[in-house]
Structure 1
Amino acid sequence: MLSDNAVRTLTACLEYADADAAHLGWGDTATLLLIHDWSLESARPRRRTMRSLEFPLHPEDLLAHPAGLPALLHRLAEDLRDPAAATPYQKTLQTMLARARAAAPDVRLLAWAVCYHDIHLRDDHLDRVRRVDAVDIDGRVYQLSHALDEEHPIILVDDTGDPADSPATQQGLAALLSATVGPIEEGPPKPR
């Protein structure tokens, strides 16, 4: 169960990812983010630091799936579950997981996120927006939407994960979490 502080830090991590995508340009193609944390000091295990590992998805793979990014996320999760699959994505994702786990003995995988561009209807015209969607180990859904002509993003953190009001990427991100850290808790998180 993530603490309130961990949820705030994870939200800030998504904001940093959005800012990095804007400044470094790595969000031009859809990019996966593996978010994890570990103890800063072994003597004080409650003090933790968080970071994300970025992995750009190949644009042609997005075009190959009729359902787009959500279908690709599900395929990546299936590849991670299948030890016989030897796809380039599987090898890269396994390397990312190994790198995160090698960072410290007590590393925790907290969330998978995806940064991508989308189109949003605003004031009767279409705007290009950058989105960062995430699902954490408690099943909490994060949605960051940043209109490219706006200075700051809008962020929504949904503890209940309402399917009627969740991004299309939610189930694929949850599948990635399930493939890497086990099943995600159903329903709202338990009180902290």
Structure 2
Amino acid sequence: MELLKQRIREVGTVLSNEVIKLDAILNHAVDPALTTAMGREFTRLFREDNVTKILTIESSGIPIAFAAAQDLNVPMVFARRKKSLNSDTSETYSERVPSFTKGYVTDIMVSREFLTAEDRILVIDDFIANGDAARGLIRIIRRSGAHLVGVGIAVEKSFQAGGRTIRESGVRVESLAKITSLAPGRIEFE
């Protein structure tokens, strides 16, 4: 998606050979026009898959997932990272997932009432590096009995194994921008 690549070139800050900061468009602030365009692109890519629900993980995936859900006219659900006071963990699917960027392991959870065996789920997230968050969501979907139609990623760091290993497991992964290198301080795209 050329618009996304253009915006990454404009606002992206390379912090290391493995980390890019995109706070101005994905992780702290939201660019509504870009987010809407990403949602439309995911709709174009998955329109024929009869998606009934979109699943993401809080928090940075929510705007993109919402844009796609609105365009597809389906509900969106997000996996919570923290247990709230009104959460009944016996009524949730949960997984432990490490975060590459944050550097810690967290529990994610989705209420069982929001995933059914009749659902056709599209996972959407902002980034994929090692793929741990996506794999956690995939395990939750499989335990729920729902059908996974694919994974949509805004930015894939294809020099890390996440997208590749999930594809190798037989899951369709569509990324809107694939970064092949951040070294030496330059953003290179596929």
Q: TM-score range by the shorter chain?
A: under 0.3
TM-score scaled by length of structure 1: 0.24
Q: Which has the higher contact order (CA 8 A, sep 6+)?
A: 1
TM-score scaled by length of structure 2: 0.24
